[in-house]
Structures are given as C-alpha cells and as structure tokens.
Amino acid sequence: MEAQTHAEDPSYPDASGGPARSADDLRESSRLDIQAAGDCLSLVEHTFGSLPDESLIVIGLLDGFTGGHMRVDLPPALADPFASARLIAECLAGEDSDPAPEAALVVMISKTVPSAAQDALWQACLDSLNLILESEYCVRIVQTWFIAGGYIRDPQCSESRCCDLPGQDVALLQDRPGIPGLPPGTSERRPLHEAAQIFLTQAPPADPELVRRCQHARERQGGASQSSSAQTRPPGHRPLQSQGQEAELLLKRWDTTLEELRKDAAPPNKDVLVDLLAQLRSATGRDLLIPLATHGFDVARVGVEGVHPGMRRTEPVQDTRLADYAGSFLGETGRRPDWERVDALERLLQQLVPYAQDSERENLLCLMAWIEWARGRGTAAGSFVDLCLEEFPQNQFSQLIERFMQLKGVCQWAKVKRHSWSWSRRGGPN
C-alpha cells in the first residue's frame, strides 16, 4: 500500500528544492490535463515509477493539481470492496488529509485478459468506492481507467474505436509525449518494487583499504568482548569504558553525522564510516537509529538508558521524550518527524552498503524497509523486506514490517498529510 500527498501546492517550493514559484506561474505550468489513455499512463508511471501490478490506484485532484494518492492490492479490494473503499477514502480525504482533494482519478490494473465478467467485478468495486467518497467525503470520481492484459480503456467512454473491449494496446502508447503538469525530466523510471535493488546498485564502490579496516574493527571488537568477559584479563589490558558510555558516544557520532549530511555535507571520512558500522552489529543499535533520525539525540538516548540503567540521568525522563521514543517506530508521535534527518539516514546507510556484512547488512536492510514504510511507500518497503528475508529468513524485524503493512496499511505519519514525508518534500507547513 502506498500513500502520498499533494504533488504540487501553489504556495510552496518545487520538489527540486529551487525557489518558490508564484501561484500564477504554477497554475499555468503545473495544471494536469488528463485527456487520453496515454496521459493516464504517464501520470501513473510518473507517480509510481512504473505501472504497478494488480493494483487499485486512487489519485486525488485539487484545483488542477494531483492530490494525495493511494495504491492498494487489487485482489483484496475486489474481495471486500467496501472495506478497501473506506480505508482509501479515510486516508485520502479524512480529517487528517487537509488539504483534501475535491475529485479523484481511479485506475485499476491487472495482468488478466479483459472481459465482460472482469468489467462487472471491477465496476462493483468502483461503485463502492464512489459511494463512500462522494456521500461521506464529497469527493467525486471524475475519471476511471481499466488496465488489463496489456490494454487500457475508459469504461465510461462510448467511443468504440478506443474503449470497446479490450481497449488500446499499452505497448503502442509507450512512446508518447509528456503531459502538461508533470515536471520535466520524469521519463526515467524507478519502479518502487525494485527500490531495494536500485538502492544497492547505486551505492559507491568498495574501497579495499576501508574493507580491511572494517574487518579489523570487527575482530578488535570481538576480542575486546571476550577479554572483558574473562575472569583474568591479559597483562597490560586497559579497562574499557562502560558499554553504556560506548553506546552513547557511538550514538552521538551518528547524530553528528546525520546533522552534517542534512546540510548536504560531503560523505563522512573513512575513520567515521568504520566507527558508524558498529551500530549495525546489533538489533539494539539498529533500533536506536529510528528515534535518533526522527526526533533527535535526546529522544534516542531514552533507549540507551533503558538498555543500560547506569546511564540514567538524575532528573526524571520527561514524558514527551518517552512518548516520542515509543511512538517513533509506528509513526504515532502526533507530530511530523524530522524527514531531512531520515533522508540523511538513507544516504548514510547507502555509504555503508559496500562494507556491511552479516548482521550489519541484515540490520541495514531492516532500516531501509522501515524508512520506506514510514514514508508511505509500501511497495518500496516490501522490496527491502523481501530481500532481507531472502538473505536472512529468520529476521523478525522485517517480518514485523510486513505484518504492519498487512494490519495497519501505511504508517501513521503517511496518513496525516501535514506529517508525511511527501508533504515535507514539497515544503508544506507542519
């Protein structure tokens, strides 16, 4: 399941981070004009990177701009149309969706060959969605497109030349011009279901020297762990800092690095990367990075205090820190996280890809699955979950993310438009 917010808003900077344009400029250059089947294909591919398989897609429209959009798996939607319609409508136009769309475009996609029986089944699902959206949320479905078996058609169109079964051949529409309203340079496709593979292949090449240094650090850490647990320590052995102090110092280094990357600083040097990799050697270290990225060092330190009681401060932990720490994993903090730091975490994890081994790689993939789920990109999250479970079949964190997607759908942050990742990227206010 995917949930994204308005692709353009007249009063905010564009996605490239450039200066804000005037409302008049945006209205002239960014209004969508969906007139034909090829326009629909361009919009869906721009939104999702490719045509998703077996999907029900609803794209909100507001004043000529694309609004929030939802993608859910088609088979469950057909099996229980009203349940899926209510889920989509609440996320797309519910009380947390401000600014809510005024209309919607619906696309249903399947690999099965189009037929009259399929039309009837899809129409029943569409009727349920239309009933709930219009009667409960005042959102009209203004366009519908069926894409089945490689053909696309408008089921409401009476023109036999284009929309009688099976419809127009999608392959013949591939070399179509862009449509007004989509930013330039959107022809490069980045399918969300290939997000994990794209992320890994775009990582920098391994530095042989750094590979050796990372291995040496692992061996040194393993030796230190054995000697610290031994009853008799070797001659000349210097006592290590407490595990809690070490955990806090390492977390602080991650915090500093995320802040630097947030400001578009160059990737960290080799010494820093070697140190940072140690955080990914345990599930505890991995989990601390989630509140660290979303709400900062003070909130993440609550986790250090929980694992290492000797690190607890003399003053009582504030309820807000505890609430933010606990809520950060499911996006239930009631406020927008620091998405710039989350994006910085993704960039830093990508720098570590060539050097992460065994548990390090396992936890890196887990974090990327969580990041994409928190962003509201369920298909991308699923690609990391699948890869992680393929390489590490017993990984419980990825199994939990998979379960979250089944039970909760998208992350709570993605459901609240002003708290969501895509809204923040557009410069929308909190």
Structural domains of the chain, ranges and CATH numbers in brackets: 2-189 (3.40.140.10), 198-227+242-425 (no CATH)
114-118, 146-150, 241-245, 285-289: least confidently modelled range: 241-245
Residue type, 154: D
Q: Write down the residue that tokens 């209309």 correspond to.
A: 103
How far is the C-alpha of 140 from the C-alpha of 153, rounded, in Å? Answer: 20
| Cβ-proximal residues to 220 (8 Å cutoff; 6+ apart), any chain | none
| pLDDT confidence band for 223 (50 / 70 / 90) | low
| Cβ-proximal residues to 115 (8 Å cutoff; 6+ apart), any chain | 165
What would the pLDDT profile of 61-102 be if each residue is shown by its tens digit? Answer: 887 777 778 888 999 999 999 999 998 998 888 877 777 889
Tell me the percentage of the chain whose pLDDT exceeds 90: 53
Q: Is 95 helix (H, G, I), strand (E, B) or coil?
A: coil
Question: What is the reported pLDDT for 66?
Answer: 74
Tell me the percentage of the chain whose pLDDT exceeds 70: 80
Handedness of CA 231, 234, 239, 241 (dihedral sign): negative
**DSSP E strands, 92-202:** 103-110, 140-148, 151-153, 168-169
121-135, 165-179, 308-322: least confidently modelled range: 308-322
| 199 pLDDT more than 70 | yes
Q: Is 171 helix (H, G, I), strand (E, B) or coil?
A: helix
Q: What is the mean pLDDT of residues 8-15?
A: 32
The total number of residues shown for the chain amounts to 430
Contact between residue 42 and residue 182 where contact means Cβ atoms under 8 Å apart: yes
Question: What is the reported pLDDT for 241?
Answer: 47
How far is the C-alpha of 410 from the C-alpha of 374, rounded, in Å? Answer: 7
Question: Which of residues 23 and 88 earns the better pLDDT score?
Answer: 88
- Hey, which residues does 115 pair with through a beta bridge? none
What would the pLDDT profile of 249-274 be if each residue is shown by its tens digit? Answer: 999 999 999 999 998 888 888 889 99
How far is the C-alpha of 357 from the C-alpha of 352, rounded, in Å? Answer: 10
Q: What is the mean pLDDT of residues 358-365?
A: 98
pTM exceeds 0.85: no
Q: Which helix (H) or strand (E) holds 295?
A: helix 283-295
| Cβ-proximal residues to 350 (8 Å cutoff; 6+ apart), any chain | 199, 202, 203, 204
Phi, psi of 108 (to 5 degrees): -115, 135
Residue 237, token pair as written in the block: 């052995």
How far is the C-alpha of 133 from the C-alpha of 149, rounded, in Å? Answer: 28
Query: What letter would DSSP give residue 94?
Result: S
Cβ neighbours, 10 Å, residue 309: 8
- Distances 187 to 41, 163, 314 between C-alpha atoms, Å: 12, 26, 57
Question: What is the reported pLDDT for 312?
Answer: 66
| 225 pLDDT more than 60 | no
The distance in angstroms from the start CA to the end CA of the chain is 24
